[in-house]
A and B are shown apart, each in its own frame.
Chain A
Amino acid sequence: MAEGGYNATLCNVDFEDSIESHFQDTVSGGAFVNNERLVRVLVENAPGRILKLEEDGALFYRTSDGKIDQRAFGRQSHKRTCYSGDRTGGEIMATLIDLLRASNVRFIKGAAVDFLLDGNKVTGVAAFDPEGAKFFLIRSKAVILTTGGGCRIYKITTNSFQGTGDGFAIGYRAGAELIDMEFIQFHPTGMVFPDSAKGILVTEAVRAEGGILLNSLDERFMEKYAPDRMELAGRDVVSRAIYREIRAGRSTPHNGVYLSLKHLDPDFIEQRLPQTVEQFRDLSGVDITKELMEVSPTAHHIMGGLRISEKTETNLKGLFAAGEVTGGIHGANRLGGNALADLQVFGYIAGHSAAHSSFESSLGKVHDKQITQIHRAIISPLQPKQDGKRPSQIRHELEELMWANVGILRTKEKLTHALKDIQRLKSTPLEIGNHNTTFAYEQLEALQVRNMLIVSEIIIKAALFREESRGAHFREDFPETNPSWRKNIIISKEKIHTVPVVVF
């Protein structure tokens, strides 16, 4: 869950800040391939949305003169990140849930499986409720896709168990265009054990407070990679350095590197990094005031996603999208604090756009043939098969191969190899051992794995296509940024092509 903050030019702390500066930071952070019209919408609306959240009951931390506090986040020219402790996302979510509770909006529990289509118009959603092992349809005049990210395709990720990228795959199957899918942000430091905590973010503050990185030979290896800024070099630089150390075999027992605070006073650590002390104690039993942390880069955010307009329209009629499932806003790399702003700004617009569009349209057609197809796809893993594999087995294989080949350092060779492996996994029959009619979790997992394979395939194809290095996308065989590649890659079921960057 997003912890860090929300970027908005409230100028509560830094009077020099401006909408223009937020725009420039976002676009330069995104290595100049952001859709600048979307960025404009983001930076102009971010302040208004956070003020509205406060009015609706959210509480953000205050400055000494009582205004919403703002702090400095990486690669930004001014202090503009608003926050509510280390649970900013949770604060926003709880506020929105309360608004929903006060409304007459109905909650329906279930996982979206596919869109119902009438030509290129989305007319509803086919869904699966694992608790009752039930397949059901929701007809609708408009649909908003807000399924979030999909970094669960990597074995080390900050994402929750639900970050399986279903929205990208559902959109793709329905014919939606996806943009910038090659750009995956890796945060340099995530936990590596136990399994349940693998990938959970270790805040940059640890390094900011003096934490140093060591390999298994006790070498402070950042000296080799970034002698000037050392551990506080850019996230991509630090991520690549750690990854290279691990790849060279200079790794810790749990396949990471060490992050050490041992040279600092325990009281200082307790006082400055209370959340991190608690996190390591509660989730892994490590006392960071005395022991070394083990960390590894961790897949954090997919910059790419469904291509949307300023009104959050997709290329499919009746389908709107917002949040991490969309692409174009953050370009090749996202700034910390821009994700929460993104989903609040565009989520709000999506609600309005969908409502307006549904006022103007009637319920669309539902085609029996399509329902039969979707149903078959859902129930097929239930049939006994020869040489089938459990969804969790396929998921583990996928996580490994994505991590090794489509992670922080990419080459044509590795990407091509990964693509072949994905094809093999896609043709492996899924077989499940859980035929429950209550809590059919493995059936849901089978659907997720099917989606994860598609998302991975899209990412690899886009990564192969972009023969340069830019932002979070690093090709060892094309290590330079190539100005002629200042364009976006669009992938749909039919084709892959490039389009010029939308400038403002």
Chain B
Amino acid sequence: MKETVKLKIWRFDPQKENHGHWQEFEIPYKIGMRALDALWYIYENIDSTLAFRFGCRAGQCGSCAMMINGKPELACKTELLPEKEYTLEPLQTFAITKDLAVDFAEPFEKMKEIHPDFVKTHEGVQVFTMDEIKDLLEYHKCIECYNCIAACPSVAESWNEFVGPTYMRKYAQVQFDPRNTKDVFENALSDGLFRCTTCKACVEACPKDIDLAHKAIEKLRSIVVKQGLGPLEGQKEFIERIRSYGKAVTIEKQPLIGKNGQFGEYIGEGEPVIFFTGCMMDLRLQKIGKDLIDVLNKLGYQVVIPQDQVCCGSPAIRSGDFDLGIRQLKKNVEILERYGIKDVIVGCPGCGITLRDDYTRWAKEILKRPLKFKTYDFNEFIHQKVMKLPTETPLKLKVTYHDPCHLNRGQGIVQEPRDLIEYTGSEIIEMKEADRCCGAGGGVRAGIRDFSRLIASRKAQWIKETQAEAVVTPCPFCIFQLKELVKNKGIDMDILHTATLLNRLLKRPIKKSQIVDE
């Protein structure tokens, strides 16, 4: 029997029917086969009424954009494997012409509508170095496939209020082109610039790997902030707090660290690692911070906590206040490098992405040198060691896992936390679209609370459907957002950090002899 590929394709003719339906196909597999090959096979051999768009077949025209296994992809670049099943649906958010073909007239017209004027500085070709136009060329790579629009959780809630990633890319392209004299950041602002959660679903969906979240959204926000038109009122509070006392949140109960803190500088024995707590674990979720310290101790690490560490600057950077972000970077780098310890552990993906991406980039640009430490997410750091441990009395919890955007797309950490959950003897019941943004990031929760809740509300049903006992998500911001969500929707579920789960499992310190080193 020859190898085959199974496809479930959404069929819908809006001219003839009110509802679409799934149709299944099983077709012969060929080496190297792309989704577009499968569609052509069906068209030529099984059903020529199947509607789908295509063009260059080389990832350059964007016509074959569609949802493949729930994600926006280009069919010409998506490999199919034998004996696997794939779902193919039309690109989300757009009007369906028929089956897999959506009507691109609307997004195309929208690009015409928002089309910013380009007012030339002068005639002729300008002298540039490649370095000066490096970012500009990245904006130019866009092929307008609109995958990013289909991927965007903010667009999904309201395309009227947030015009979406590629349009913001267009604004950035004109705003940051030195040949153009006319500012367009105000257009971006009125088109919903502050409604992006920087979840990077657009970056993941972009076939040209354009860093839309950073290079379009955050850079435009920084101009808006410089001009005094931002950040939003709700965001100003935490920015003011960072400015005045170094932390983004108010002090309500005993902090984890610092003058009145629960923990001193050195905790436990063993190989020293630095714990960068971030504001949330220091001032809001101290219990999780303690769990994290316990787990590290039990795994044989000495936890070193710089008591004077300040907010990483993420809330400022995401909402466009780069100057404040750089101030925080300078302070923290000095503090963290003081110990001569190479490994810095974070339990907050927001801090993680900031220390990893923004600090690394700015260190190069501003400090003109690489950082002397390396940042690891907690899950990633302990993963290998934990996976070598003997099994403990299983927790036997039924949990579902929510992927924090800044961990998953931000740092590429997807499997590690899941492995850790399974190590605790708990079962993971995957929810639908586990990696869909909860709406808390990018300053949206602070700035536009209603909109943030609206984005979150999509997840309520999916979480409920799993019938799990708890949601595990190793991100303080997601934990806050989801706690509020389940409370408001009357769902009885705990929201837990992986550190908490592990601390419940690991009853006592692990002896060195128990850790199998290869």
Residues of A in contact with B (beta carbons under 8 Å apart): 1, 51, 54-57, 59, 61-62, 64-68, 84-85, 87, 90-91, 94, 98, 101-102, 109, 131, 160-162, 193-197, 200, 279, 282-286, 390, 392, 432-439, 441-442
* Given contacts A57-B177, A390-B48, A439-B99, A197 and B15 within 8 Å (CB-CB): no
Q: How many chain B residues touch A (Cβ–Cβ < 8 Å)?
A: 57
Which stretch in B110-118, B303-311, B474-482 binds the other chain?
B110-118
Tell yes or no: B251 within 8 A of A by CB: no
B37 and A438 within 8 A (CB):
no
28 A–B pairs (Cβ distance < 8 Å), ordered by A? A1-B58, A51-B124, A57-B118, A59-B133, A64-B129, A67-B125, A85-B137, A87-B141, A90-B143, A94-B142, A109-B105, A160-B57, A162-B55, A193-B30, A193-B32, A194-B34, A196-B36, A196-B37, A196-B57, A197-B32, A197-B34, A279-B58, A283-B32, A283-B77, A390-B48, A433-B48, A434-B49, A439-B51
* Given contacts A196-B76, A436-B49, A442-B48, A160 and B55 within 8 Å (CB-CB): yes
Q: How far is the CB of B207 from chain A (nearest CB, A)?
A: 9
A200 and B32 within 8 A (CB):
no
- Which residue among A91, A94, A286, A441 has the maximum number of chain B CB atoms within 10 Å of its CB? A441
Closest residue on chain B to residue A66 by CB atoms: B127
For window 409-455 of chain B, which residues contact chain A by CB distance below 8 Å?
A: none
B34 and A196 within 8 A (CB):
yes
Tell yes or no: B120 within 8 A of A by CB: yes
Closest residue on chain A to residue B49 by CB atoms: A434
Residues in B whose Cβ lies below 8 Å from that of A51: 124-125
A62 and B97 within 8 A (CB):
no
For window 52-66 of chain B, which residues contact chain A by CB distance below 8 Å?
A: 54-61
Please pick, from A54, A279, A284, A392, the residue contacting B32 in the complex, using a CB distance under 8 A: A284
Residues in B whose Cβ lies below 8 Å from that of A439: 51, 97-99, 101
* Given contacts A196-B34, A438-B51, A67 and B127 within 8 Å (CB-CB): yes
CA–CA, A51 and B124, complex, Å: 7
Please pick, from A55, A283, A433, the residue contacting B123 in the complex, using a CB distance under 8 A: A55
B44 and A66 within 8 A (CB):
no
Residues in A whose Cβ lies below 8 Å from that of B76: 196-197, 283
B127 and A131 within 8 A (CB):
no
Tell yes or no: B43 within 8 A of A by CB: yes
Closest residue on chain A to residue B76 by CB atoms: A196
B129 and A437 within 8 A (CB):
no
CA–CA, A441 and B99, complex, Å: 12
CA–CA, A160 and B198, complex, Å: 35
CA–CA, A110 and B299, complex, Å: 66
CA–CA, A439 and B48, complex, Å: 11
Q: How far is the CB of A355 from chain B (nearest CB, A)?
A: 22
A195 and B13 within 8 A (CB):
no
* Given contacts A64-B129, A67-B127, A283-B76, A438 and B30 within 8 Å (CB-CB): no
Consensus secondary structure, chain A interface: loop
Closest residue on chain A to residue B141 by CB atoms: A87
* Given contacts A102-B115, A194-B34, A439-B97, A283 and B59 within 8 Å (CB-CB): yes
Q: How far is the CB of A14 from chain B (nearest CB, A)?
A: 17
Q: How far is the CB of A334 from chain B (nearest CB, A)?
A: 20
Please pick, from A54, A194, A433, A441, the residue contacting B33 in the complex, using a CB distance under 8 A: A194
For window 83-114 of chain B, which residues contact chain A by CB distance below 8 Å?
A: 97-99, 101, 105, 111-112
CA–CA, A283 and B32, complex, Å: 8
Residues in B whose Cβ lies below 8 Å from that of A194: 30-34, 37
Told that A161-B54, A195-B30, A439-B101 touch, could you supply 18 new A-B pairs with CB distance under 8 A? A1-B61, A51-B125, A66-B129, A67-B125, A85-B137, A102-B117, A160-B56, A160-B57, A194-B37, A283-B77, A284-B32, A285-B32, A392-B43, A435-B49, A436-B13, A436-B51, A438-B97, A442-B48
Residues in B whose Cβ lies below 8 Å from that of A195: 30, 37, 40
CA–CA, A11 and B130, complex, Å: 19
Residues in B whose Cβ lies below 8 Å from that of A437: 15
CA–CA, A435 and B15, complex, Å: 13
6 smallest beta-carbon distances between A and B, as pairs: A66-B127, A439-B51, A194-B32, A439-B98, A284-B32, A434-B48
Residues in A whose Cβ lies below 8 Å from that of B124: 51, 55
Please pick, from A55, A109, A284, A438, the residue contacting B98 in the complex, using a CB distance under 8 A: A438
Closest residue on chain A to residue B39 by CB atoms: A196
Q: How far is the CB of B510 from chain A (nearest CB, A)?
A: 39
Q: How far is the CB of B454 from chain A (nearest CB, A)?
A: 32
B51 and A68 within 8 A (CB):
no
Residues in B whose Cβ lies below 8 Å from that of A392: 43-44, 48
- Which residue among B16, B105, B125, B141 has the maximum number of chain A CB atoms within 10 Å of its CB? B125
Q: How far is the CB of B109 from chain A (nearest CB, A)?
A: 9
Q: How far is the CB of A129 from chain B (nearest CB, A)?
A: 11
Please pick, from B56, B60, B137, the residue contacting A84 in the complex, using a CB distance under 8 A: B137
Residues in A whose Cβ lies below 8 Å from that of B14: 438
Q: How far is the CB of B314 from chain A (nearest CB, A)?
A: 32
* Given contacts A197-B34, A433-B48, A285 and B127 within 8 Å (CB-CB): no
CA–CA, A76 and B44, complex, Å: 43
Tell yes or no: B374 within 8 A of A by CB: no
Tell yes or no: B136 within 8 A of A by CB: yes
CA–CA, A193 and B37, complex, Å: 10
Tell yes or no: B508 within 8 A of A by CB: no
A59 and B34 within 8 A (CB):
no
Q: How far is the CB of B4 from chain A (nearest CB, A)?
A: 15
CA–CA, A55 and B111, complex, Å: 21
B140 and A282 within 8 A (CB):
no
Closest residue on chain A to residue B54 by CB atoms: A161
A94 and B140 within 8 A (CB):
yes
Tell yes or no: B79 within 8 A of A by CB: yes
A84 and B140 within 8 A (CB):
yes
Closest residue on chain B to residue A393 by CB atoms: B44
Residues in A whose Cβ lies below 8 Å from that of B128: 62, 66
CA–CA, A196 and B43, complex, Å: 13
Please pick, from B57, B99, B123, the residue contacting A197 in the complex, using a CB distance under 8 A: B57
Closest residue on chain B to residue A197 by CB atoms: B57
* Given contacts A64-B129, A195-B30, A197-B32, A436 and B98 within 8 Å (CB-CB): yes
Residues in A whose Cβ lies below 8 Å from that of B79: 285
Q: How far is the CB of A252 from chain B (nearest CB, A)?
A: 12
Q: How far is the CB of A395 from chain B (nearest CB, A)?
A: 9
CA–CA, A380 and B177, complex, Å: 53
Residues in A whose Cβ lies below 8 Å from that of B40: 195-196
Q: How far is the CB of B144 from chain A (nearest CB, A)?
A: 8
A433 and B57 within 8 A (CB):
no
A1 and B60 within 8 A (CB):
yes
CA–CA, A351 and B128, complex, Å: 31
Closest residue on chain B to residue A158 by CB atoms: B58
CA–CA, A392 and B43, complex, Å: 9
B57 and A438 within 8 A (CB):
no
CA–CA, A57 and B54, complex, Å: 28
Q: How far is the CB of A98 from chain B (nearest CB, A)?
A: 7
B164-182 interface bits toward A, Cβ cutoff 8 Å, 1 = contact, 0 = none:
0000000000000101000
* Given contacts A62-B129, A68-B125, A438-B13, A283 and B34 within 8 Å (CB-CB): yes
A432 and B48 within 8 A (CB):
yes
